[in-house]
């Protein structure tokens, strides 16, 4: 939802001609001359498209020396944005373009473009035969978390030579996961254990926790090759229990990162015994659900999540259905009732990044058995959850606190068990969030930076952001208060999940205090972190 | 691209999943050897798959051994389709011809264990696409055409599509021997309305990893192969046209030709590799004014036609596209012209063949008009002027398209299609549930057909009342200007089956081409049917329109232009007459010639 709002903004951000004219600035019409350069090599970039918010025509292509000019401009200033395939845009998404002075004596405008990095590689089997139609997914790790970001960068498929190329990458650390686009189970007879290719993370490991990142520098190619071996497939089997006799129970399984489709599972609804089809070895999540006993007063659906790591076949799995929990959610501090609709409160089960569920706003009459609340998570399985609050309200809010009973949800996860229903999630929001933006002095444009923001409020989690190619960053919707801020080289390999590393970064950073609705702008130098 | 599905959705999907049931008897085997078609040497590690003809989703796969052997055991009796693939070879069905292949019959007294699966060494067409500055063109669309047979006549058909990578490179691997043509399409990346610019703009967006609690959860992927998720907004025309950006690349037919007919054929023998590079040069884009199909008393530009008549839905009411045989290359941007009601502006046009579609109506009724025109200048195009004929009538029995059939517009709708003799223009009208149709068309000579074609055919056409100068010959209709004509069309449903066995010297023969020739062979090609005999010599063809046919079995018939009577004539004498009754299965034994 945040994303939709951002895209709308893009259209407002499109440069509009400015008719402001200040005769006092000099004798114009003037010509704005400029140069487009490669930020890493300093070489001129030819055939780059330069767009100006002033002048007609408002766009130009650079010549073979990287030079461009806009003629007949009124005195004042013109903002320029430059794009060129293979380079990151001069103006990061949703940020204003830099302006340049337009006057008879104005110096030439110099715009530097950071070239994108490339990850390329080759996938072959253990005999060196190229593997075609393998999907290659590139993603980042959320700093400070052990989980991959849910936003993957690219998915690409190997060609007939087993090769893949992923261009246009900003500098930083990336992870790769490869898997056959279509899972083939090779076998000769129906009674034989089939073999096939499981999902593999770079550099050839089965799980994300042991994956190595691939470091990408601007304008460079990083190579990631894979030699894959077919592995015997596995089966998961066991029993689903905890549902009333005759209830219609369902069981499915998927994978946390790449859930492409439901796979086949054989469930005897009478006994609860189940067995999956032959599947590649790996991590899976079993999900079960059943309708509650209609004769009992208990109305919540029965649910169960069971993560399984299956290097070989696993039997005797116990999937125990428990009543799903209805968690009431209250939002305090809204100045207008209709703003409630602008809030999105979501939970996702820890370790199962695809299990996102949003709280729903229910009219009173449709929820007669539920305690009065602003919204509800309905029938969520018992377990430990991440919780997130976001808002698209025109007059922005920030989250002052979020609690469940005595648990501070800004610092800890939400544990949902049979007692949770009694403790609504209480979220307090306030108008007037602070904004912190600025740019990082990049010593080497090829390497990029990560900005770390540490709230001084005890228990609050640090925030991380990858700076744009030109070093700019922006944190929105911040609660007012004191922060420490520091920028680190994005290729330094610092472990953001390590408390000691974070402490070091934090103490090397600078302090800033933000008051309500304040927009603060900072220039940061990179702090040194040894690994 | 991988689809991300929430586990909650998976749970819902599981409701639809059906448990596998174990067939009672599983005792048969399919076995054989994969060999190189030329050398005859065994091919190891080929991926061989079988799937029951009755359920192609239930595939099983194996890899051939070091001596090229493959084996599937524990099979239930029935017919199975075999396919094989291997790096360096074409992907093939067993003894494949066009879409037909020899299925392996498995059962008592049937030999299914001595299959020789001949694979052709692949040929490759690969190349690079560069622009006027010798820089790579990214995301250029490449279309591969192959000279082959369609409807029993020589035809050039779409055989593949590819896209260039960031280096401007593309590849068409796994090609079978044959004659090919390559066509490239791209837009200058810096041109007005270019998607490449939007893609570059959002490159950084993916960097904005927000916080530890990034719970946006939209799961959106900025993917290299899909369009960037930006709103579908027609940009305002620039206040002052910018000659640098108002440019296009014309379609490029290898090498440097302007049509498929004049392009250089690339002839591939088994195991060859051909390089086909393209170099694009921009030309100024044309802007075309197009007047929509006339709709007296109704404002086409208001969109009323679409709202009230979703059956002829086109949005906007005029559309323009670049088409190649069997594929739409690009939908051109169309914009209303507020100052000129009924007119639309098509931007970004390169000189060449453009297909226009327009929905409209006259007193007779609503219709969808399509027209292909060679565009060379900015002369406005009037789709409405020539429309002067009112055509209406009934179709009996009312054609009801087969459930699940998709005709690209509406799977539940049947249409009456008029196509001009040169194939460049056509009109399409909806057949109502009562069997009525009414449409506005231009004067001229048209062939009449029912759409979708598979299950219903026209049996006869008659004019009811005044002919007003209209003439009918078979399925061809001549309409004079200004005429108002009522037709009575008899339809017939293709609901029968022809099955049997192909014999040579009294023994079942696999891989023969079977042709079912209608008694009145001047009829439309849609009434011809073909099949390939399976390993036990048997075949099944459906759905067949009831009537009298001659069944032919030809041993090496795959290169015959069988739609030409003169080509088929020598075989007809030795054919088998077959009478096909409505809803029934006719059995026939065909002698292989």
> CATH number for the domain including A394?
2.60.40
CB contact under 8 A, A264 and B20: yes
Contact list in A for residue B11 (CB cut-off 8 A) is: 250, 252, 287-289
Per-residue confidence band for B164, with pLDDT thresholds at 50, 70 and 90: very high
In a shared domain, residues A289 and A394: no
Would you say A198 and A231 are in contact if contact means Cβ atoms under 8 Å apart? yes
In a shared domain, residues A292 and A338: no
Residue in chain A lying closest to B2 (CA): A260
Per-residue confidence band for B11, with pLDDT thresholds at 50, 70 and 90: very low
Q: How far apart are CA B50 and CA A418, in angstroms?
A: 50
B281 touches chain A (CB under 8 A): no
In a shared domain, residues A124 and A228: yes
Would you say B384 and B317 are in contact if contact means Cβ atoms under 8 Å apart? no
Q: Tell me whether strands B476-479 and B28-36 are parallel, antiparallel or unpaired.
A: unpaired
Q: Which domain holds residue A508?
A: 434-525
Share of chain B above pLDDT 70, in %: 80
Q: What is the pTM of this model?
A: 0.83
Contact list in B for residue A142 (CB cut-off 8 A) is: 209, 212, 214
Question: Considering just the CA atoms, what is the radius of gyration of chain A in Å?
Answer: 27
In a shared domain, residues A154 and A205: yes
Q: How far apart are CA B190 and CA B244, in angstroms?
A: 8
In a domain, A2, yes or no: no
CB contact under 8 A, A254 and B222: no
Q: What pLDDT was estimated at residue A150?
A: 55
Q: How far apart are CA B186 and CA B201, in angstroms?
A: 19
Nearest to B10 among A252, A465, A466 (CB): A252
Q: How far apart are CA B289 and CA B343, in angstroms?
A: 6
CA distances from B412 to B206, B405, B407, B409, B508 (A): 42, 8, 9, 9, 41
In a domain, A497, yes or no: yes
Q: Of A175, A207, A232, which marks where a domain is finished?
A: A232
CA distances from A61 to A67, A124, B496, B515, B539 (A): 8, 42, 65, 60, 63
- Mutation to test the A interface, candidates B61, B126, B203, B221, most A Cβ within 10 Å: B203
In a domain, A185, yes or no: yes
Would you say A273 and A201 are in contact if contact means Cβ atoms under 8 Å apart? no
DSSP state of A444: S
Contact list in A for residue B15 (CB cut-off 8 A) is: 250
Contact list in A for residue B200 (CB cut-off 8 A) is: 83-85, 87-89, 168
Total Cβ atoms within 10 A of residue B405: 13
Contact list in B for residue A92 (CB cut-off 8 A) is: 204, 207
pLDDT higher at B225 or B141:
B141
Q: How far apart are CA B555 and CA B553, in angstroms?
A: 7
CB contact under 8 A, B5 and A354: yes
Is the link from the previous residue into B452 a cis peptide, with omega within 30 of 0?
yes
Angstroms from B157 CA to nearest CA on chain A: 23
Q: Where are the beta strands (DSSP E) in B209-362?
A: 247-248, 252-253, 266-268, 273-275, 278-279, 283-284, 286-291, 318-324, 327-331, 334-336, 343-349, 352-362
3-state secondary structure of B457: strand
Q: Tell me whether strands B538-544 and B585-591 are parallel, antiparallel or unpaired.
A: unpaired
Among candidate residues A469, A442, A466, the one with its CA nearest the CA of residue A113: A469
Residue in chain B lying closest to A161 (CA): B87
Asked if residue A310 has pLDDT above 60, the reply is yes
Q: How far apart are CA A303 and CA A283, in angstroms?
A: 20
CA distances from B468 to A32, A327, B464 (A): 71, 75, 11
Among candidate residues B417, B498, B505, B405, the one with its CA nearest the CA of residue B455: B405
Contact list in B for residue A2 (CB cut-off 8 A) is: 216
Using CA atoms of B434, B438, B439, B445 in order, give the dihedral in degrees to the nearest 10: 100
Q: How far apart are CA B569 and CA A418, in angstroms?
A: 82
Would you say A325 and A418 are in contact if contact means Cβ atoms under 8 Å apart? yes
Number of independent structural domains in chain A: 5
In a domain, A3, yes or no: no
CB contact under 8 A, A87 and B133: no
Long-range contacts of B14-18 (CB under 8 A, 24+ apart): B14/A250, B14/A251, B14/A252, B14/A262, B14/A265, B15/A250, B17/A252, B17/A262, B17/A264, B17/A265
CB contact under 8 A, B222 and A153: yes
Asked if residue B108 has pLDDT above 70, the reply is yes
CA distances from A374 to A345, A378, A379 (A): 11, 13, 16
Angstroms from A507 CA to nearest CA on chain B: 20
Among candidate residues A60, A62, A116, the one with its CA nearest the CA of residue A87: A116
Mean of the per-residue pLDDT values of chain B: 80
Q: What pLDDT was estimated at residue A145?
A: 66
CB contact under 8 A, A155 and B240: no
In a domain, A174, yes or no: yes
What token pair was written down for B576? 């088998």
3-state secondary structure of A197: coil
User: Taking residues A69-76, what's their average pLDDT?
Assistant: 90
pLDDT-wise least confident of A187-196, A252-261, B406-415 = B406-415
Q: What is the pLDDT of residues A332-376, one digit of tens each?
A: 999 888 888 888 898 888 766 666 778 888 876 776 677 888 999
DSSP string for A215-278? EE-TT-EEE--EEE--EE-B-EEEEEESS-TT--EEEEEE-SS---S---EEE-TTT-EEEE--
- Mutation to test the A interface, candidates B29, B190, B226, B242, most A Cβ within 10 Å: B190
In a shared domain, residues A330 and A396: yes
CB contact under 8 A, B7 and A252: yes
Q: How far apart are CA A163 and CA B117, in angstroms?
A: 28
Q: Where are the beta strands (DSSP E) in A25-133?
A: 30-38, 49-52, 59-61, 67-73, 76-83, 99-102, 109-113, 117-125
Q: Of A115, A131, A148, which marks where a domain is finished?
A: A115
Please report, in angstroms and rounded to a whole number, the separation of the first and last CA atoms in chain B: 48
CATH number of the domain residue A501 falls in = 2.60.40.1120
In a shared domain, residues A59 and A105: yes
In a domain, A170, yes or no: yes
Q: How far apart are CA A288 and CA A343, in angstroms?
A: 29
Residue in chain A lying closest to B44 (CA): A129
Q: Tokens 């060999």 — which residue?
A: B35
3-state secondary structure of A529: coil
Q: What pLDDT was estimated at residue B401?
A: 58
Total Cβ atoms within 10 A of residue A125: 17
User: Taking residues A153-173, what's their average pLDDT?
Assistant: 90
Q: How far apart are CA B288 and CA B240, in angstroms?
A: 17
Long-range contacts of B250-253 (CB under 8 A, 24+ apart): B250/B283, B250/B350, B250/B351, B250/B352, B251/B183, B251/B184, B251/B185, B251/B322, B251/B324, B251/B329, B251/B350, B251/B352, B252/B183, B252/B184, B252/B185, B252/B278, B252/B280, B253/B181, B253/B182, B253/B183
User: Taking residues B408-433, what's their average pLDDT?
Assistant: 76
Q: How far apart are CA B526 and CA B7, in angstroms?
A: 46
What token pair was written down for A496? 């953001």
Q: Tell me whether strands B456-464 and B484-493 are parallel, antiparallel or unpaired.
A: antiparallel
Among candidate residues B426, B446, B429, the one with its CA nearest the CA of residue B437: B429
B66 touches chain A (CB under 8 A): no
Angstroms from B560 CA to nearest CA on chain A: 33
Q: How far apart are CA A374 and CA A465, in angstroms?
A: 32
In a shared domain, residues A150 and A82: no
In a shared domain, residues A123 and A226: yes
CB contact under 8 A, B217 and A356: yes
Asked if residue B300 has pLDDT above 50, the reply is no
In a shared domain, residues A264 and A218: no
pLDDT higher at B544 or A354:
B544
Nearest to B204 among A166, A464, A468 (CB): A468
Surface of B (112-131) touching A: CB under 8 A: 124
CB contact under 8 A, A356 and B6: yes
Contact list in B for residue A15 (CB cut-off 8 A) is: none
Exposure of B98 in the CB half-sphere (CA atoms within 13 A): 19
In a domain, A263, yes or no: yes
Asked if residue B590 has pLDDT above 60, the reply is yes
Q: What is the pLDDT of residues B47-88, one digit of tens each?
A: 999 999 988 888 889 999 999 999 998 889 999 999 999 989
In a shared domain, residues A70 and A89: yes
Surface of A (467-506) touching B: CB under 8 A: 467-469
Surface of A (37-66) touching B: CB under 8 A: 46-47, 49, 56-61
In a shared domain, residues A224 and A287: no
Residue in chain B lying closest to A348 (CA): B215
Q: How far apart are CA B512 and CA A335, in angstroms?
A: 79
Total Cβ atoms within 10 A of residue B422: 9
Per-residue confidence band for B360, with pLDDT thresholds at 50, 70 and 90: low
Q: What pLDDT was estimated at residue B509?
A: 94
Angstroms from A143 CA to nearest CA on chain B: 7
Among candidate residues B542, B556, B540, the one with its CA nearest the CA of residue B592: B556
Q: What is the pLDDT of residues B165-209, one digit of tens each?
A: 999 999 999 998 899 999 999 999 999 877 777 777 766 554 433
3-state secondary structure of A175: strand
| Contact partners, residue A98, CB within 8 Å, separation at least 6 | A79, A80, A90, A91, A111
B228 touches chain A (CB under 8 A): no
Is the link from the previous residue into A55 a cis peptide, with omega within 30 of 0?
no
Q: How far apart are CA A98 and CA A107, in angstroms?
A: 15
| Contact partners, residue A4, CB within 8 Å, separation at least 6 | A392
B340 touches chain A (CB under 8 A): no
CB contact under 8 A, B7 and A140: no
What token pair was written down for A95? 């940020």
Q: Of A303, A321, A339, which marks where a domain is finished?
A: A321
Asked if residue B408 has pLDDT above 50, the reply is no
In a domain, A78, yes or no: yes
Instruction: Give the containing element (helix H, strand E) for A4.
Output: helix A2-13
Contact list in A for residue B223 (CB cut-off 8 A) is: 154-155
Instruction: Give the containing element (helix H, strand E) for A319.
Output: strand A314-320
User: Taking residues A476-494, what's their average pLDDT?
Assistant: 90
The residues with which B420 forms a beta bridge, in sequence order, are B446
- Taken in order B410, B414, B419, B423, is the CA torsion positive or negative? positive
In a shared domain, residues A249 and A227: no
């Amino acid at each position: 939802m945040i994303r939709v709002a951002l895209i709308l903004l893009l259209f407002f951000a499109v440069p509009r001609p400015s008719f402001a004219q200040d005769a006092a600035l000099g004798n114009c019409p003037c010509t704005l001359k400029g140069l487009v350069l490669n930020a890493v090599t300093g070489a001129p970039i030819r055939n780059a498209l330069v767009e100006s918010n002033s002048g007609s025509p408002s766009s130009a292509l650079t010549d073979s020396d990287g030079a461009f000019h806009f003629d007949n401009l009124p005195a004042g200033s013109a903002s320029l944005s430059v794009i060129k395939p293979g380079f990151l845009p001069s103006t990061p998404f949703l940020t204003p373009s830099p302006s340049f002075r337009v006057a008879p004596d104005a110096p030439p405008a110099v715009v530097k473009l950071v070239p994108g990095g490339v990850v390329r590689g080759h996938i072959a089997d253990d005999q060196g035969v190229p593997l075609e139609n393998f999907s290659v997914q590139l993603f980042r790790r959320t700093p400070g978390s052990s989980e991959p970001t849910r936003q993957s960068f690219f998915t690409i498929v190997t060609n007939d030579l087993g090769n893949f190329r992923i261009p246009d990458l900003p500098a930083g650390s990336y992870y790769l996961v490869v898997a056959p686009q279509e899972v083939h189970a090779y076998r000769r007879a129906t009674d034989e254990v089939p073999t096939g290719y499981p999902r593999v993370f770079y550099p050839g490991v089965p799980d994300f926790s042991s994956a190595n990142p691939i470091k990408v520098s601007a304008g460079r190619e990083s190579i990631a090759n894979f030699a894959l071996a077919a592995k015997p497939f596995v089966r998961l089997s066991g029993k689903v229990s905890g549902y009333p006799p005759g209830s219609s129970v369902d069981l499915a399984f998927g994978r946390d990162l790449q859930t492409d489709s439901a796979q086949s599972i054989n469930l005897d609804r009478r006994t609860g015994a189940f067995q999956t089809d032959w599947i590649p070895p790996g991590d899976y999540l079993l999900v079960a659900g059943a309708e509650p006993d209609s004769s009992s007063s208990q109305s919540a659906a029965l649910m169960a999540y069971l993560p399984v790591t299956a290097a070989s076949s696993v039997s005797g799995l116990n999937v125990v259905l428990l009543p799903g929990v209805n968690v009431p959610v209250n939002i305090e501090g809204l100045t207008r009732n209709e703003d409630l609709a602008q809030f999105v409160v979501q939970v996702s089960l820890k370790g199962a990044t695809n299990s996102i569920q949003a709280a729903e706003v229910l009219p009173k009459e449709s929820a007669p058995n539920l305690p009065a609340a602003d919204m509800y998570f309905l029938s969520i399985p018992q377990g430990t959850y991440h919780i997130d609050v976001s808002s698209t309200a025109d007059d922005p809010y920030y989250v002052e606190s979020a609690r469940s009973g005595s648990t501070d949800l800004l610092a800890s996860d939400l544990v949902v068990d049979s007692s949770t229903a009694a403790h609504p999630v209480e979220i307090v929001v306030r108008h007037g969030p602070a904004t912190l933006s600025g740019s990082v002095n990049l010593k080497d444009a090829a390497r990029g930076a990560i900005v770390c923001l540490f709230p001084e409020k005890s228990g609050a989690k640090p925030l991380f952001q990858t700076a744009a190619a030109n070093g700019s960053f922006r944190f929105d919707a911040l609660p007012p208060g004191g922060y420490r801020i520091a920028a680190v080289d994005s290729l330094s390999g610092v472990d953001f999940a390590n408390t000691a590393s974070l402490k070091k970064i934090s103490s090397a950073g600078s302090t800033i205090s933000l008051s309500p609705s304040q927009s603060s702008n900072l220039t940061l130098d990179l702090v040194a972190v040894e690994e | 691209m991988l689809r991300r599905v929430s586990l909650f959705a998976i749970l819902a999907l599981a409701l639809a999943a059906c448990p596998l049931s174990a067939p009672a008897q599983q005792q048969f085997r399919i076995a054989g050897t994969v060999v190189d078609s030329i050398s005859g040497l065994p091919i190891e590690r080929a991926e061989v798959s079988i799937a029951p003809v009755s359920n192609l989703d239930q595939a099983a796969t194996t890899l051939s051994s070091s001596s090229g052997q493959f084996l599937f055991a524990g099979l239930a009796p029935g017919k199975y389709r075999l396919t094989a693939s291997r790096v360096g070879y074409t992907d093939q069905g067993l003894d494949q011809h066009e879409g037909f292949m020899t299925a392996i019959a498995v059962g008592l007294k049937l030999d299914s264990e001595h299959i020789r699966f001949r694979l052709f060494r692949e040929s490759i067409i690969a190349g690079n696409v560069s622009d006027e500055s010798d820089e790579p063109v990214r995301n250029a669309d490449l279309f591969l055409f192959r000279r082959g047979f369609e409807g029993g006549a020589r035809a050039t058909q779409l055989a593949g599509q590819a896209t260039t990578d960031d280096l401007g490179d593309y590849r068409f691997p796994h090609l079978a021997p044959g004659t090919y043509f390559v066509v490239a399409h791209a837009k200058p990346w810096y041109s007005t309305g270019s998607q490449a610019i939007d893609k570059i703009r959002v490159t950084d967006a993916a960097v904005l990893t927000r916080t530890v609690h990034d719970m946006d959860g939209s799961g959106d992927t900025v993917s290299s192969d899909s369009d960037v998720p930006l709103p579908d907004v027609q940009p305002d025309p620039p206040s002052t046209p910018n000659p640098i950006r108002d440019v296009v690349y014309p379609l490029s037919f290898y090498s440097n030709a302007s049509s498929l007919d004049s392009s250089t054929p690339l002839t591939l023998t088994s195991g060859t590799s051909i390089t086909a590079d393209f170099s694009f040069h921009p030309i100024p884009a044309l802007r075309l004014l197009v007047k929509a199909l006339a709709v007296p008393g109704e404002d086409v530009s208001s969109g009323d036609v679409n709202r009230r008549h979703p059956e002829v839905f086109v949005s906007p009411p005029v559309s323009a596209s670049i088409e190649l045989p069997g594929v739409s290359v690009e939908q051109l941007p169309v914009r209303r012209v507020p100052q000129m009601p009924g007119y639309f502006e098509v931007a970004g046009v390169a000189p060449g063949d453009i297909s226009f579609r327009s929905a409209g109506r006259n007193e007779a009724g609503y219709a969808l008009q399509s027209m292909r025109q060679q565009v060379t200048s900015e002369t406005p195009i009037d789709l409405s002027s020539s429309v002067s004929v009112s055509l209406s009538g009934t179709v009996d029995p009312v054609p009801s398209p087969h459930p699940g059939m998709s005709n690209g517009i509406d799977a539940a709708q049947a249409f009456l299609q008029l196509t001009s003799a040169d194939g460049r223009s056509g009109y399409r009208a909806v057949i109502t549930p009562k069997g009525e149709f009414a449409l506005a068309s231009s004067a001229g000579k048209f062939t009449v057909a029912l759409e979708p074609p598979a299950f219903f055919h026209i049996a006869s056409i008659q004019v009811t009342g005044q002919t007003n100068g209209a003439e009918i010959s078979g399925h061809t209709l001549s309409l004079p200007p200004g005429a108002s004509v009522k037709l009575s069309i008899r339809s017939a449903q293709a609901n029968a089956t022809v099955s049997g066995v192909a014999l040579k010297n009294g023994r079942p023969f696999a891989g023969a081409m079977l042709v079912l020739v209608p008694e009145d062979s001047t009829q439309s090609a849609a009434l011809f049917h073909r099949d390939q005999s399976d390993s036990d010599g048997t075949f099944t063809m459906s759905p067949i329109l009831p009537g009298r046919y001659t069944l032919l079995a030809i041993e090496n018939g795959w290169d015959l232009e069988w739609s030409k009577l003169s080509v088929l004539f020598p075989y007809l004498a030795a054919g088998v007459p077959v009478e096909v009754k409505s809803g029934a299965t006719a059995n026939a034994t065909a002698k292989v010639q």
